[in-house]
Structure 1
Amino acid sequence: MNASQTMETEEDLLTCLHIKLYHPQQSSKGMYSLLPLGKRVRQPADESLRLGRDAQACAYSLFDPRVSRKQLALHPYRTPQNPDLLFTIQNLSQRGRVSVNSSTLGYLERMDLPDKALIRFGEYEMLLVRETGEAQGSFEVEFEVLAAPPSRETGMCECMTPVMDTGSCVMNGFLGEVRRLGPLETDETLMYRS
């Protein structure tokens, strides 16, 4: 048998998951030192992709003691109606929550991922973008570090609530404090109340 007969026959164009990470203290620590940054890594489609602190239990590890040993898993799948390789995300952390766009996942909960999703756990923000391909037996993963939080760029910040009467934004649900103080004025003669 020659080599061409024994090789796996798969299309050249693989589905690729672009995983773009951000953490507020990423420049001071080597938290991404265990990730294959800037290169595409091939993954079998019949295996889940795990991300966490434990390099033995996870395919990709973050060097950060605040990350769970097994933080999350991405599961590839296909449906009879769709030839594309799709993904679900599952929270593997018993202590921490994982949020996907505006939905929060508890321990072992999972959901289907859209083509573009903002995923948060701890102080991490992860923008996941799926690039479709033809191959069914495997897919690629490419990690990148972002200089700014992806929630700013994508407008997917779920922590801000617009306040119509003042035109300001309220961070982390402090709407009651704004109501107590009343509308904000722009007159320079008014003193700021703390």
Structure 2
Amino acid sequence: MYDHPYIHSFNHAVLEKVVTKLTQQGDSYDVIDLYQDGFNPAYDAEELRLFHRGQTHDPLVRQYLTQLKTADALIVITPIWWNDLPGMLKEFIDKVMKEGPELTHVVTKTGVQGTLTNIRKGYVLTTSTSPTFYLRWACGNAIKKVFIQTTLKQLGIRHVKWSNYGGITNSTAEKREGYLAKVSQMSF
């Protein structure tokens, strides 16, 4: 899943490295590109009414649900904006993650129980203006504590690794190339 509007961004370079690596490994994959797909993160009244029945009138939501239910891995490539996930990705979770045993989760007396257990491994590759240590220690580590250890875990995705390229605004071309080389060496 890719969440960045600008094709000349460093995030897009990360996406290209991931796609190249998956192709080299012989893995089949689908890219969910929220901006390129024209994903509309906003609810209308009908979408919200259907949500509580695990339904949607948005064809992209149906497509994304099918892709998620048949995937064995999830790779999320996104910037960190204001110390957290961008709104588009948050709204993807709000709008696409539908309640129902054949969908992404069920709600029980003890909380949310995820049904995306087909996704056996996950990777969250982020970039940020802030240094990674600042996100982890001064900002409460929202990506790891909320997104990975709570949201993804509640959806049934348990084994997730996070890699952040922090301090991107002041980084050098050489350091960015070094990070891209690291991405090329990851085993997805």
- On whether the aligned pair clears a TM of 0.5, the verdict is no
The structure carrying a bigger strand percent of its residues is 1
The TM-score bracket by the shorter chain reads under 0.3
Give the greater-gyration-radius structure (CA).
Answer: 1
Of structures 1 and 2, the one with the larger relative CO (CA 8 A, separation 6+) is 1
